[in-house]
Amino acid sequence: MSFTDYFRRFAVFAVCVSACVFMSLSALADPGDEWAIGDKALPMTIKAPLHARRKSSAEKPKAKTGVQVDTYAKNLGQISAIDTGDKGEIYVLNQFNGTLSVLEDRELDGRMDMQRPLQSGFTQPSGLVLAGEHIYISDATAIWVMDRTGGTKRVLASLEKVQASPENRPLSLSPDGKWLYLGLSKADGTARIVRVNRQSGQAENLSAGPGPVRALAQAKGTPLWVAVNNSLIAVTTERYSLGEAHHMEPGVLVQGFYLPAEANAMPEIFNELTGQFLVLQGGGARLSGKSSGGQNLVAVPVSFGQPQNKMQVVIDGLVTNHGRTVWGEFSDIAWDARGLFLADRQNGIIWKASKAVDKPKILSPKEKPETKFQAASSVKKPKAKWGSSIAKASTITTGSTLSENWKEQSLMPEETLMEKLRREEEEALEESD
């Protein structure tokens, strides 16, 4: 085989490798990128595990230009759910140790003032709802109710005899505040939705269908929506099915989702998200280069109450190494006027996405402040005139001393232009005499 043939084969091989690298890189989406989903989504071509790794000190989620992402609170354990109160407080549910904590921001300046424990003793808690002056929590044994200020918790509805998986029991509130919706999933791949009266604790079956149920959401004027794996389904009858589902990206798991006008008004910097579905995509699968890579917060536009077959990435940056590794996992989201708050279950962090603040530039010792100079032709020069208003020479004579801080300094004033002209005039008069 000639050298030319070897060179041609090597060139073809290099092009193929470059194409593969490009496909891998394309799995790392940037905030603002749009992707096709639903019927328009391309099939997933890579089926491999996504390897979790430890977060470096400098890593944090990415957002669009004009938005900054900061650590709001950390060391919060395995966060399963969060919710915001009306006084700047954020309630945090730790699934690992079964505790509920509250983060307080008394000045409403977007900075946490204090973190304090509110309640403990839950068993794998997964659902959290704030309604009026009460907090409702679902875990492996019951739906619990307690005051927002703390105190004793009590059982609203027992779940000890329920034949369902204890790990994930999502909880949601009806728009009128009368009912709590609870998702219960079984090992055989089926699930049911139960509604519980918030006052009496009486429960009744609402609908049944495929599982596992990963999240529930309802807003005023919309049906109840349920998330099953990567699908969103409107619950309108006693049976719901995947045939009526709206599918997110292939291979992802919906960690949580929220409907238009379901909660507080959006922060000003995120006004364009008003009226859209907000969906947290997660899961442990490595996605193909034809997807956003998952592990992100996306917005899905809505038309006549139905989500459309496209989405826009809002918060991203957890997936690295060409889509092979991940350093965090979004588990829940809440918001108020201060910004978007995202729970990172893997690192025990709550991230805050808010409007970026312009910081003054600090010059390094080698940098000099910018100085503007005028052209020499534009600077007016003073002109000396005879008959100056200075009546006599300066009273500070040559060799006079000034004392300051017990140190004597010799002051040798320079002859001014006017003094020089006056001296020359006097010398000329003396010579004429």
Q: What is the DSSP secondary-structure string of 324-351?
A: TEES--EEEEEEETTEEEEEETTTTEEE
Give the integer Cα–Cα distance in Å for 26 and 13.
Answer: 20
Task: With a cut of 70, say whether residue 356 has pLDDT above it.
Answer: yes
Strand 306-307 with 349-355, pairing? unpaired
More confident residue, 395 or 349: 349
Confidence of residue 362 (pLDDT cuts 50, 70, 90): low
Confidence of residue 34 (pLDDT cuts 50, 70, 90): confident
The per-residue pLDDT of the chain, averaged, comes to 83
Model pTM above 0.85: no
b or e along 124-138 (b: 16 or more beta carbons within 10 Å of the residue's beta carbon)?
bbbbbbbbeeebbbb
In CATH terms, the fold of domain 9-355 is Neuraminidase (2.120.10)
Confidence of residue 48 (pLDDT cuts 50, 70, 90): confident
Residue 420, CB half-sphere, CA atoms under 13 Å: how many? Answer: 6
Report the run of H or E that residue 181 belongs to, with start and end: strand 179-185
Residue 119: the pLDDT is 97
Query: Taking a C-beta distance cutoff of 8 angstroms, is the pair 62, 30 a contact?
Result: yes
Cα distances (Å, whole numbers) of residue 292 to 104, 286, 337: 35, 11, 28
Residue 291: the pLDDT is 79
Encode pLDDT of 255-314 as tens digits. Answer: 999 987 655 678 888 988 888 999 999 988 887 767 788 899 999 999 988 999 999 999
Give the integer Cα–Cα distance in Å for 195 and 171.
Answer: 10
Q: Domain coordinates of the chain in residue numbers?
A: 9-355
Long-range contacts of 199-202 (CB under 8 A, 24+ apart): 201/143, 201/155, 201/156, 201/157, 202/157
Helix (H, G, I), strand (E, B) or coil at 169: coil
Residue 214, CB half-sphere, CA atoms under 13 Å: how many? Answer: 21
Query: Taking a C-beta distance cutoff of 8 angstroms, is the pair 192, 205 a contact?
Result: yes
Question: Count of residues for the chain?
Answer: 433
